[in-house]
Structure 1
Amino acid sequence: MELARAVRDGELDLPLPGAGRTAQRWRALAAVARVDPVLGRMAEAHTDALAILAELGGPPPEPGQVWGVWAAEPPQPVLTATRDGDGGWILEGVKPWCSGASSSTHALVTARVGEMRPLFAVDLGHPGVSPVPDTWPAVGMAASDSGSVAFDAVEAVQVGPDDGYLHRPGFWHGAIGVAAAWFGGACGVADALAARAGRADAHQLAHLGAVSAALAGARWSLEQAAAEVDADPARDVQATAMAVRAVVEAAATLTLDRVGRALGAGPLCSDAAHAARVADLTVYLRQSHAERDLAELGRVGVPLWS
């Protein structure tokens, strides 16, 4: 499923989070990522952008548009927004970590306005938008084309209030959507081991059992989180989201390790699709901030088991 075609054919017209069918939304993202983690990552970004536009009252997307969400804010490089003479906004500078830099038609982009980081909708067909060559030399997730993009006097439309992107219930709904895509990618890696179950030895079956348990726990955590979001869409689910992401990341990491130990180097060297899936998922999981996220979960989510 190629992204532009899937968007055009309506295959990514998913239920909005919190609208009563959140589990269906996350299952759909997982299904895409199970086939191709890169496509799953791009589909997650596109569908998250549509949810953000709906939540913050942004310009309604038109059929066939492919959206990205470019919200990384490292110290450098910097993208700034300034008012033009007509009350609109102009973007100048460079934005890093832009998935779909050359293939998206539109993007939601954060830019600096003093100490704030408002969100802006941008038509990437503007002549001032240009992907920066040689800024994505990745092996895993190479096809996500997540390099830097330069903006030169690019017109933009602000979406929501200055702090709207981060301070909204849907921010954490989207964070769980990423975990759903991680889960799908891990299932795709596990499929290579499950396919050998009929001729597996005892050690391989033990690995498969461990993978099955871990992925079952991840699936149940996603389903429970979906039920919580649908029960109260306005509720702050930061702790739930961070816990789900930690559970799914741990399950996916275990899956990568166990499948590699069970099958050895063979499929990594002879099965191009499996080798790419492993490399892509390994990079995709690093969208997590690892121990920093766990420390934040310890601060905001105690005790989730009560």
Structure 2
Amino acid sequence: MHEASTPLAADATRPTDLDEDSGLRPGAARREVAQQFASVVSDIASGALEFPLPGSGRTSQRFAALRAVAQRDLCLARLVEGHVDATAILTELGGTAPGPAERWGVWAAEPPGEGVTATRTEAGWRLEGLKQYCSGAHSCTHALVTATADDGRRLFAISTGGPECHPVPGTWQAIGMAGSDTPDVRITDLPAVPVGGVEAYVRRPGFQHGGIGVAACWYGGALAVTEPLRSAAHRAPDPHTDAHLGAVDMKLHAAGALLEQAAAEIDQDPLDRGGAARLRSLRVRAFIEEACSAALSHVGRATGAGPLCRDLRHARNVADLSIYLRQHHAEHNLAELGGLVARPEDNR
């Protein structure tokens, strides 16, 4: 794989400084990650850190940069991925690019529940309702939000700083990914600016490209999780430890190669004229989810409880990756993949 030509690449595996007992407290983790998020966004705005747009001819560099952030901290990667995804979405759908001091999220989860509705008024669009799983709820200055209007599902740009938009206390109790700050957000008569038309958010090819960017974050998280196994194999050669490391290396090497191939294919057909984007996204995400899950299992079996109980950074990495991987919809996505393979005409 190509190394990311960014300052984070050389710093990818350095642990974040943590208080001895605060690292797993959701409030402390949230504040820690928010500070890092602001710093990374500042570096992006200044040009010190670059995430090329998907399909720009440098998609491999984008995925490598996401991997590097994730290898450093998965919660940070969740927020950074949202910010750079929002930038790509706004570019693709003709929205206004983020300002240099703005931190954006993409709040598009739509699980069962109340949801958000959009109403067109004489004064413009207004949003109302409850949006679940809003990463960066306390640290994002702006967000792209999906909502249901009379004519269908739409995407809107909002400012998060006013009383019309506030996180709901107690709705993000996670230990894993605690620092991603992903509670529900209550939206009340919130002014909003439409971005694209009905269903434009999910119909654009970039929706599929962005899903592979999330998988690049999973991959970076898995690389971080394997560090105790690599260290154990280096310190005390043992055939069983080596076998676990070999199994992990095989799968993660293949995952990295698959990301490189996907990046090249995206750059060859960024507008998806060939109709392969959904099939590619399903394949890549499923394989990388499986490789990351295997890494979690092999590392745990090889190293035992010691690193989980005595190494706070590793414990966080394992907990974070276990949660983040659940953005893959498991058998639901595999069933869709199988259907597309069995009936290729459905992919047109």
Same fold, judged at TM 0.5 (above)? yes
**Cα displacement (A) at 1:192:** 1.8
> In structure 1, what is the equivalent of residue 121 of structure 2?
84
What is aligned with 1:60? 97
* Correspondent of 1:16 among 53, 63, 76: 53
**Residue 256 of structure 2 corresponds to which residue in structure 1?**
219
Find the counterpart in structure 2 of residue 247 from structure 1. 287
Distance 2:232 2:56 in 1: 40
Unaligned runs of 5+ in 2: 1-15, 17-35
Mapped to 2, the partners of 1:79 and 1:12 lie a distance apart of 34
Q: 1:286 aligns with which of 326, 330, 344?
A: 326
TM-score, scaled relative to structure 2: 0.85
Provide the alpha-carbon RMSD of the alignment.
1.4
Distance 2:237 2:175 in 1: 31
Moved more, 126-135 or 180-189: 126-135
C-alpha distance after superposition, 1:90-125 (max 9, x if no partner)? 011110110111111110000111361100000111
For residue 104 of structure 1, what is the amino acid of its counterpart? C
The superposition leaves residues 102-158 of structure 1 with CA deviations (integer Å, 9 ceiling, x where unpaired) of: 111110000111361100000111221111000001111111111100111110000
Residues of 2 paired with 1:301 and 1:65: CA distance? 42
Q: 1:84 to 1:303 in 2, by over 3 A?
A: closer
Is the contact between residue 94 and residue 148 of structure 1 (CA under 8 Å) also seen in structure 2?
yes
Match of 1:6 in 2: 40
1:201 aligns with 2:238: yes
Relative to structure 1, the CA distance from residue 301 to residue 56 in structure 2 (aligned partners, 3 Å threshold; closer, same or farther) is farther
Q: Residue deviations 1:46-87, cap 9 Å, x none?
A: 11110000000112210021111011112312211101213x
Map of 2:22 onto structure 1: none
1:229 corresponds to:
266
Q: CA deviation at 1:9?
A: 1.9
State how far apart, in whole Å, the 2-side matches of 1:32 and 1:104 are: 18
Unaligned runs of 5+ in 1: none
> Aligned partners of 1:188, 1:167: CA distance in 2, in Å?
34
The answer for the alignment partner of 1:190 in structure 2 is 226
What CA deviation, in whole Å up to 9, does each residue of 1:139-197 have, x standing for no partner?
11111111100111110000001110010000000000000000000000012211222
Counterpart of 1:95 in structure 2 is 131
> What is the correspondence of 1:27-46 to structure 2 with a 5 Å cutoff?
27-46=64-83
1:302 Cα offset (Å): 5.0
| AA aligned opposite 1:181 | C
Q: Which deviates the most, 5-14 or 45-54? A: 5-14
Residue type of the alignment partner of 2:300: G
Aligned to 2:152: 116
CA shift for structure 1 position 248: 0.4
Q: Deviations over 1:258-302 (max 9, x none)?
A: 000000000000000000000000000000010110000111245
2:126–2:190 CA contact under 8 A, matched in 1 = yes
- Contact 1:267/1:275, CA 8 A, preserved across alignment: yes
Letter of the 2:43 partner, please give it: D
Total equivalences in the alignment: 303
Deviations 1:203-223 (A, max 9, x none): 010000000000001001100
Letter aligned with residue 215 of structure 1: L
| Aligned structure 1 segments of 4 or more residues deviating by more than 6 angstroms | none
Deviation at 1:303, TM superposition (A): 9.1
Percent same amino acid at aligned positions? 53
- Return the match for 2:216 from 172, 176, 180: 180
Equivalent-residue separation in structure 2 for 1:190 and 1:116 (angstroms):
44
Partner of 2:19: none
